[in-house]
A and B are shown apart, each in its own frame.
Chain A
Amino acid sequence: MNSTVSPSAAVMLKDVEVRFETTTLLFDCVIPAGQIVAVAGASGSGKSTLFNIIAGFEEPERGDVHILGEEMAGHLPAERPVSVIFQEHNLFAHLDAATNVGLGINPTMRLSAVHRAKVADALKRVGLAGFGGRLPPTLSGGERQRVALARALVRHRPLLLVDEPFAALDPGMRAEMRELLRDLHAEEGNTILMITHHPDDVKLLADSVLFLDQGRIIAHDPVERFVERRDVTAINRFLGRE
């Protein structure tokens, strides 16, 4: 089966089935490498479960998960070429920003001088030069998310999963973060999957959209096509056209 996997696919899910007490989710998709993909859909449509399956926080009952052509069954989260950024609590609140970033280089926090320089550089790239000694509770929500982004930078994983990273931010801050994410994507050339509830994020940032409804991927379109679609009620509702 591996032979059918195109080497340019960042993620391929084949007949992936996840069972919960009341529902069963089914995922099937191929996500090409190098894109920014918006993952949208109503609450409970399975977006977070999709991420959990890719990141390895949950194992599916059935089906194959391939990342960059490699079968992922039995791979621990840390063994997958994936970085994750959540909506909040990305940083350990009692450890300073530099330590939080440093954990991306060495998860036991034994860092050399070279490593420390890399940490400082990553903080600079997200616009937080000199913030290394600050504790997360003293940072704003946007600054905390940027520290999390800096940690993803030092890890150099080809796939970045971001789960509503801007949900807790005000509109001005959202625009800034979108900018930053786009710049970093251009520099790194990685693949980004981003869960979002905002049509703006889709239109301004994404190359394509993965739309989920009731545990199925019901649309996977380039953004231009997606915003023109009128045939699906759930998509109309998401785009604010009822």
Chain B
Amino acid sequence: MSGAAEKRMTIAAGVFSLGGILLFVGLAVIALLAQSGGGDAGALFDTYVWRVTRFTLLQASLSTILSVLFAIPVARALARQASFPGRIWLLRLMALPLGLPALVAALGLIQVWGRQGFLNTGIVALGFEEPISIYGLFGILLAHVFFNMPLAARLMLAGIERIPGEYWRTAANLGMPSAAVFRLIEWPAIRGLLPGIAGLIFMLCATSFTLVLTLGGGPAASTIEVAIYQALRFDFDPPRAIALSGLQIALTGALLLVLKFVAPPPQESETSGKAMRRFDGLRGRSRLADALWLILALIFVGLPFVAIAYSGLQADLARLVGDPAFHRALATSAVIALLSAAVSVGATAVMIRTQQVALMRRHAGAAARGLAGTISAGTSFILLVPPVVLGAGWFLLLRPFGDVARFAPAVVVAINALMALPFVHRVLAPAMATHAARADRLAASLGIVGFHRLRWIDWPPLRKPLLMAFSFAMALSLGDLGAVALFGSQDMTTLPWLLYSRMGSYRTADAAGLALMLGLICLVLTVLGTAGEDGAREGRNA
């Protein structure tokens, strides 16, 4: 096969992938918009809808503020205390919530902060009457801070570590006290990152589904996404679901615009690899303060993991593993995760390559540039329509064709694949760009094309990023409840759905055992999927 034919095939495959994605998202949006055509749209925005919207924004704002406020001292302490035993493990712990399914985390948080949890048991033992309730705004904030404080702290830490080492030596030479170091060096570095970090967290919290579903309490503490789910599954009120979906799209759209123009996306850790030597915070009060913040972070982030492991091991794991319901759920989840990861990684890789091929010539034509631009826009377009809204659209679209549950597997695979796409893109794009810069001209000059190029030139260096992206996409799909919640039925039960039903029917021991297994699987996949980052960290500490 000639190079030109190969290029045409690549572009055709890219256009096909892009077209499929746009069609899948577009049809869902059209279904929602077309059905909202009725004249009583105004009446739909009743007090309930406004209350839900207000609560969505309120909880997202508070979650963002609390996560950031907690993250600043933690990041500063981690940066200042550059070498203490266990620092690398604390950093790893801070990366763990990323890989934990929201449902499993919710269960862990309930075990720590809930009515029968460690904390309330302690409070009651101390003689207090009123235990704190985790259900409602408090629990939602708790869960969002659990997920996002470590994320914010890690991004801030990376920002502080990008500060040149000479700054710390100059500060030490000039004798800056730690308050001045914070005001003059650390805060300016953190401040520059804040819009990006806060925007990201706000976005995650405004579209949070599972945590609000499990920890929110009824209509008083419900977000738009959960309200969409309830409107479709319980009240069967499509007009309301449609109105809410429109609101959600408008909200995420506005957020994406703000993020694009106001806040540059926070950079992942990209440090020089040199050990950072700090001369402040080694003595007295600052060291004590740092230690207290780090212990607080350790307890806050670590305790839910301990709770999941502890109560999971109390469960009758042997019986659970032998349960046919578990087998079915595991098989369903595995198939869905494998398929959606394959679709996600395959489509993303093809689209990235199409972009590269389209822009390869120095003066790429308008069509080529247009295609490349559409692919870039396409990946953000996905963020515009959160999974539950996507599911709602397809729910309404498929309803005329009979029981929606029949279509569930395909729709869930597609939604999960799309959900993972932005993350997969973030892993693959830089790796593929580097590879293309190194190999494209050389391979072309040697005339290596087709299968031989894939086998000998592309696969060896890209194997690791591809497997990482695959692993991460699988973890996301395995932990997802949103898509399954809308479409799930007796015939299609995934692991998170099984866990959710067990929680709902108060089979607590079973739920704990399932949570432990699901959490472990997802964590292992996430660790595999982010192995590269971790290696960089280890290198720095060596």
A positions within 8 Å CB-CB of B: 55-57, 76-79, 82-84, 86, 88-90, 92, 94-95, 103-104, 107-109, 155
Contacts and interface: CB of A to CB of B under 8 A. Distances in A.
A125 B77 CA distance: 40
B189 to A, nearest CB: 8
Contacts of B172: 56-57, 76-78
Q: Chain A interface mostly helix, strand, loop or mixed?
A: loop
B286 to A, nearest CB: 13
A84 B177 CA distance: 18
Given A76-B279, A88-B164, A108-B177, 13 more contacts: A55-B169, A55-B173, A56-B172, A76-B175, A78-B176, A90-B170, A92-B167, A103-B174, A103-B184, A107-B176, A108-B180, A109-B184, A155-B174
A89 B184 contact: no
A106 to B, nearest CB: 9
A107 B279 contact: no
Nearest to B175: A78
A84 B164 contact: no
A95 B174 contact: no
Contact of A84 (B170, B179, B183, B188): B170
A54 to B, nearest CB: 11
A78 B168 CA distance: 12
A89 B175 contact: no
B538 interface: no
Interface of B: 164-167, 169-177, 179-180, 183-185, 188, 277, 279
A77 B179 contact: no
Contacts of B188: 92, 94
Contacts of A84: 169-170, 173
A90 B166 CA distance: 6
Contacts of B183: 108
24 contacts: A56-B172, A57-B279, A76-B172, A76-B279, A77-B279, A78-B172, A78-B173, A78-B176, A79-B175, A82-B173, A84-B170, A86-B169, A88-B164, A89-B170, A92-B184, A92-B188, A103-B174, A104-B174, A107-B171, A107-B180, A108-B176, A108-B179, A108-B180, A155-B174
Contacts of A57: 169, 172, 277, 279
Contacts, number: 63
Contacts of B169: 55, 57, 77, 84, 86
A108 B185 CA distance: 11
Nearest to B174: A107
B47 to A, nearest CB: 48
A79 B176 CA distance: 11
B173 A88 contact: no
Contacts of A82: 173
A35 B437 CA distance: 52
A88 B171 contact: no
A92 B165 CA distance: 11
* Pairs of residues from A and B, 7 with the lowest C-beta to C-beta distance, nearest first: A78-B175, A89-B166, A89-B164, A77-B172, A107-B176, A108-B180, A107-B174
Contacts of B177: 107-108
A92 B173 CA distance: 14
B170 to A, nearest CB: 6
Contacts of A78: 172-176
A58 B115 CA distance: 52
Contacts of A104: 174
Nearest to B191: A94
Contacts of B167: 89, 92
Given A55-B169, A78-B173, A78-B174, A92 B185 contact: yes
A11 to B, nearest CB: 16
Contact of B176 (A94, A95, A103, A155): A103
B539 to A, nearest CB: 15
Contacts of A88: 164, 166
A83 B169 CA distance: 11
Contacts of A107: 171, 174-177, 180
Nearest to B277: A57
Contacts of A94: 188
A103 B164 CA distance: 18
Contacts of B175: 76-79, 107
